[in-house]
Amino acid sequence: MTKKLFDRTPDGKEVYLFTIGNKNGLTAEIINYGGIVVSLYVPDKNGKADDVVLGCDSLEDYSDSPYFGAVIGRYANRIENAVFELNGKEYRLAKNDGNNHLHGGIKGFDKVVWDVLEHSDNTLKLHYLSPDGEEGYPGNLDITVTYTITDDNELSIDYKAKSDADTIVNLTNHSYFNLSGHDSGNILNHQLKINAEKFTVSNEELIPTGEIAGVEGTPLDFRNLRPIGDGIQADNIHIKYGNGYDHNFVLNVSGKEPEFAAEVFDPASGRRMKVYTTKPGIQLYTGNYISDIKGKGGIRYGKNGGLCLETQFFPNSVKHKHFPSPVLKAGELYHHITIYKFE
């Protein structure tokens, strides 16, 4: 368990790097700016630990990164036309992704300094109070995010939130994983399995239309382990819209407790990661727009340098009543858990 100064924000706030880990060599380094997982050291088949997440060495570099490792909120993913209706009232949000709203807006939860409530050998608990009207969202939202590394080689992320007014909430983590090591190139040889028979169909702006389609016979069929590179350049409209994989999958989960959502295997290192969640969806994003981004140790990250498995309510779910609802009623508890287990 260590704590050291990482950087300072432009207005002088100190940001610290906290280390948590277990006896098996699984170690995470997390900063209280954006709740960012800066590094995650995982032993390979020979016991050698490598850092398997993309990240940066300074806040300035993080400002140029595509949400590396961060907590995303108040609403992860996209909202069509940056507007939603709740209880008969219209709420207008920032248009920060073309005509749409993405990942909580201009200054989402990834760009704020969080309070540290607890830091022990294996746990870091962060807190943030998002004021009513922040980025256009209603209600004062009180959030805690707890990172725990277990002796079963799991990184567990526990999200809790309460609001004093009805609002919408969809929290996730935006880590980019490369199980060969963050500095090892692309993830096209990684093998992927997703526990989903269906996905949400999106338009050319990556906004779900409301249609839910089967993965069978498409490049989005990851019901069995297969290399990511196999379908990433397929002649398929869904792949072309995302310039690769950038899709929400409808998970075969109940939502009552963390259940199996996805598995990634890297043949080169022998590392295997399994994802468990209480959320109904998972966004597969294969770093299609990473381009010469400055990373840790001066490494330059390129296209497909990492993959994200963002557990979530479906994108644009506030517009489609047949999607699981992201509405959080005043006084009710939002509680979701996502676990990344390494084998």
Distance separating alpha carbons of residues 196 and 125, to the nearest angstrom: 31
Q: Does residue 174 have an active-site annotation? A: yes
Q: Tell me, what amino acid is at 161?
A: A
- Which is catalytic among the residues 29, 80, 134, 310? 310
* Paired strand residues for 142: 129, 162
Catalytic status, residue 85: no
Of 314, 16, 45, residue with least CA distance to 179: 45
Q: Assess contact for 110 and 103: CB atoms under 8 A.
A: yes
Alpha-carbon distance of 45 to 55, in angstroms, equals 23
Torsion of CA 301, 315, 36, 302, to 10 degrees: 0
Query: Rounded to 10 degrees, what is the CA torsion of 225, 228, 234, 239?
Result: 100
Distance between CA atoms of residues 90 and 233, nearest Å = 39
Residue of 101, 174, 182, 320 marked active site: 174
Task: Please give the Cα distance from 248 to 208 (Å, whole number).
Answer: 9
- Alpha-carbon distance 333 to 148, whole Å? 20
CA distance 226 to 223: 9
**What is the number of alpha carbons within 13 Å of residue 26 lying toward its C-beta?**
20
Catalytic residues: 174, 310
